[in-house]
Amino acid sequence: MIYALIALGYTLVYGILQLINFAHGEIFMVGAYLGLFVYTLSQTVSGNLAATPLTISIIVLAMIGTAALGVTIERFAYRPLRNSPRLAPLITAIGLSFLLQNAVMLIFGPSDKNFPQIIKSQNYSWGNVAFTNLQILIALTSILLMVVLNAFIKNSKLGKAMRALADDPKAASLVGINPDQIISIAFLIGSGLAGAGGVMFGMYYNTINFHDGYLVGLKAFTAAVLGGIGNVPGAMLGGLLIGILESLGAGYLSSEWKNVFAFFILFLVLLLRPSGLLGSRVVKKV
Amino acid sequence: MKKRTGDPTEEKKFRKLRALNKSVIPEYFYRGSIDSRSKRAGMTRVLLGALKSSSASLPESFKISLLLVVIFTLPFFDKNPYHIDIMVTAGIFMLLASGLNVIVGFAGILNLGYAAFYAMGAYTYALVNLHLGVPFWAGLWVSGFVTALFGILLALPAFRLSGDYLAIVTLGFGEIVRITLNNLDRITGGPNGLLGIQHPALHFSSYQYQFGVRSEPYYFLVFSLVVIVVFFLKRLESSRLGRAWVAIREDELAASCMGVDLGWAKLSAFGIGGFIAGIAGCVFAAKQGTVSPDSFDFVVSVMILAMVVLGGLGNIWGALLGAFMLNLLPEFLRGFDIYRMLFFGIAMILIMLLRPQGILGERRHKEEFHSQSSR
């Protein structure tokens, strides 16, 4: 589920700019740390807040923070390179990744940080299936965010502009769509979702580290490609699949091989469907 | 300063066509006819221009021999083993960047798992040396060919995939190789890696020279290999195959229409890139005496890619310069202590913002640079 949220960010940006935003995993990590920061702040301001409004406000504030970060990154590191060779922004993204990781390491320290259990974990079971209230909460929040996003892209004016820009940038700007603005919004939404993902990641695993962004980012990117990059429902599907495959692989094979398993499935899928599960086959015109 | 007036898209087409033609038509044909119109990086251009004009009076062969003399006499002036050691690492990465440059720079295929090739070279030498007692000089070839073979195997799906999908497959390949090395405890020693790999030795009839653990012999070894590889790539660049790669990079469809065998060209790019990574890995293993999976993780792939792009895609000297800079920059930034990697990131961003085509952009790339929007 969390993979799906982050994969959405990759897909949104890629769909419009054909840019692999390598710093996206880092934004996710920053989101987790922001969540922690807001929590600590709330504890010093007033000791006992109810769990539910606290959780919501942490997620929302972290989302705002990462969204602002995403837009800033786009403005300073990617926009100046809009017309450059395709790999140039990739390198600034790598540089940014170093920058963010080390900035977080310097501010919060290099060791694992405990992420507080804001909502106490409880176990439920239904037949043979066991789950916790946290898992349900994460699933519900993710689904909610995805449904809102899907509706936004399908129906709203900005969403339509976004799709138009992804389709044909030149034609879109001819009919009066401001590409800079729309790209900023894509970064805003993608980064915000990554921030939410970060907070939920922290709440679920209870420990965060400045290195977390890299591996999760890698897998989310894989998920985005698996579902067909540039395709929003594809990213959700891909994220779900990667998450499920990974836990199945860890359960039935061994946890050491779970990453190999996920990538191996990716190989197979791409060999059979070269443009991802839901990706449309782009016919190259001459 | 506008030369042609008229429809900008027409002009764009014209430029693209010309860029394509260049792979077929001799280059001096067009030299000097393009007005560069970059608004940014005026300063760097002036500086580079001044540098160029001051050195332009010297013949190319003289400059290269001067460079060679500087490189090969450095250990006699600089006795600091730490410096030489860094230079050996830089040299290994120069090999790697040159190899990746073949795949990404010449053929235009984004490869995010290049460290896997490097790892294969290192582990191949480690295994054949430990189990079969193969000496270094033979191991160099074995590593090269085994890695080239794997490169070709990886390139097979390249026929079906394009662009970023291929990139993600190479990324996945890199991760699979690393995790497999980590998990196959019995063969690769798992996370501890393999120990006790033989250092190289030279035999002159009865006299024997052991490379041992000092850095100097490896310095000469690595830079000899760099020179050989650069010479080889220089020749390759202007060969039929080299021009075929550039044609594919610019426009795959047009290239195949002109009779370029896409499959063969892509396979050979991965093969040659793999071979170079293989020998680099072999040298690394022989120098260290040990190999372990964490020398070959995703960050290494990304760093090699950054070297190639930073130096200038498709430019042989650029790849060398990029490798040199990204290896030495962190050492120079040691003064910043824990802020070192922070500044390293900032430096990477700044260099790219100032010179998006890389420090030494290839001429073909430079010319297209402002006529072609990101595809």
The enclosing H or E element of B65 equals: helix B60-77
- Mean pLDDT (whole number) for A195-210: 82
Asked which of A66-80, B47-61, B211-225 is least confident by mean pLDDT, the reply is B47-61
How many angstroms away from the CA of A87 is the closest CA of chain B? 7
Pick from B160, B344, B370: CB nearest A271: B160
Element spanning A153, H or E = helix A133-155
Q: How far apart are CA B259 and CA A27, in angstroms?
A: 45
Question: In the 8-state DSSP scheme, what is residue B186?
Answer: H
- What is the rounded CA–CA span in Å between residue A114 and residue A212? 13
- Compute the distance between CA of residue B132 and CA of residue B109 in angstroms, rounded to an integer: 36
Interhelix angle B298-311/B114-132, nearest 10 degrees: 120
pTM of the model: 0.75
For residues B117 and B173, the answer to whether their CB atoms sit within 8 Å is no
Interface of A with B in 24-63 (CB under 8 A): none
Nearest C-alpha of chain A: how many angstroms from B210? 40
Give the per-residue pLDDT at B370: 43
Q: What is the DSSP string of A244-281?
A: HHHHHHHHHS-GGGHHHHHHHHHHHHHHHSTT-SSPPP
What's the rounded Cα separation, in Å, for the pair A94 and A103? 14
For chain A, how many residues are written? 286
Helix (H) or strand (E) holding B33: none
CB pairs under 8 A between A and B: 146
Q: Is the pLDDT of residue A205 over 50?
A: yes
A20 touching B, CB under 8 A? yes
**Any idea which of A25-34, A118-127, B26-35, B277-286 has the lowest mean pLDDT?**
B26-35
What are the backbone dihedrals phi and psi of residue A188, each rounded to the nearest 5 degrees, phi first?
Answer: -60, -50
Strands (E), chain A: 113-114, 123-126, 129-132, 207-208
Pairing type for strands B201-204 and B207-210 reads: antiparallel
Taking the mean position of all CA atoms in its chain, how far away is CA B141? 19
In DSSP terms, B210 is beta-bridged to B201
Chain A residues touching residue B176 (CB < 8 angstroms): 260, 263-264
pLDDT in tens, A238-272: 888 887 877 777 667 666 677 777 777 777 777 77
| Torsion of Cα atoms, B47 then B49 then B53 then B58, to 10° | 90
Assign B275 a pLDDT band (cuts: 50, 70, 90): very high
Answer positive or negative: Cα dihedral of A5, A11, A16, A19: positive
Note the Cα A227 to chain centre separation in Å. Answer: 14
Rg (CA), chain B: 22
The strand pairing partners of B291, in sequence order, are B194
**Best mutation target, A102, A106, A285, to test chain B (most B CBs within 10 A):** A102
**DSSP line for A45-62:** H-S---HHHHHHHHHHHH
Q: Name residue A207's beta-bridge partners.
A: A114
Outline where DSSP puts E strands in chain B.
201-204, 207-210
Residue to mutate among A219, A226, A260, with most B CBs inside 10 A, is A260
Identify the band that residue B39 occupies on the pLDDT scale cut at 50, 70 and 90: very low
In the numeric block, the tokens 């449904």 are attached to A147
The alpha carbon of residue B116 is apart from the nearest alpha carbon of chain A, in Å, by 14
Give CA–CA dist A150/A144, Å, rounded.
Answer: 10
Chain B residues with CB under 8 Å of A88 CB are: 309, 352, 356-358
What does the pLDDT read at residue B146?
Answer: 92
The tokens 């500086």 sit on which residue? B47
A94, A259, A263 ranked by CB distance to B302: nearest = A94
Q: Which helix (H) or strand (E) holds B298?
A: helix B298-311
Task: Identify all chain A residues contacting B306, using CB atoms and an 8 Å cutoff.
Answer: 91, 94-95
Alpha-carbon dihedral angle through residues B128, B130, B136, B139, given to the nearest 10 degrees: 10
Q: Among partner residues B169, B179, B313, which is closest to A87 by beta-carbon distance?
A: B313
Exposed / middle / buried, residue B7 (Cβ in 10 Å: 0-12, 13-18, 19+)? exposed
Contact A32, A112 (CB under 8 A): no
A-contacting residues of B 44-83, CB under 8 Å? none
Give the pLDDT confidence of B146-200 residue by residue, as tens digits.
Answer: 999 988 888 877 666 666 677 777 888 888 888 888 888 777 777 777 877 777 7
Give the nearest partner residue to B342 out of A83, A87, A103, using CB atoms.
Answer: A103
Tokens for A257, please give them: 């091989």
Both structure tokens of A104: 């977080």
Under 8 Å CB-to-CB from A111, ≥6 apart: which residues?
Answer: A209
Asked if the C-beta of B356 comes within 8 angstroms of chain A's C-beta atoms, the answer is yes
Q: Is B49 buried (19+), middle (13-18) or exposed (0-12) by CB count in 10 A?
A: exposed
Residue B9: what pLDDT? 54
Nearest-Cα residue of chain A relative to residue B350: A92
> What is the distance between the alpha carbons of residues B340 and B337, in angstroms, rounded to a whole number?
6
A19, A83, A91, best to mutate vs chain B, most B CBs in 10 Å: A91
Taking the CA of residue B132 and the nearest CA in chain A, the distance in Å comes to 29
% of chain B with per-residue pLDDT over 70: 77
Q: Say whether residue A204 is in contact with chain B using an 8 A CB cutoff.
A: no
CB within 8 Å: B352 and A91: yes
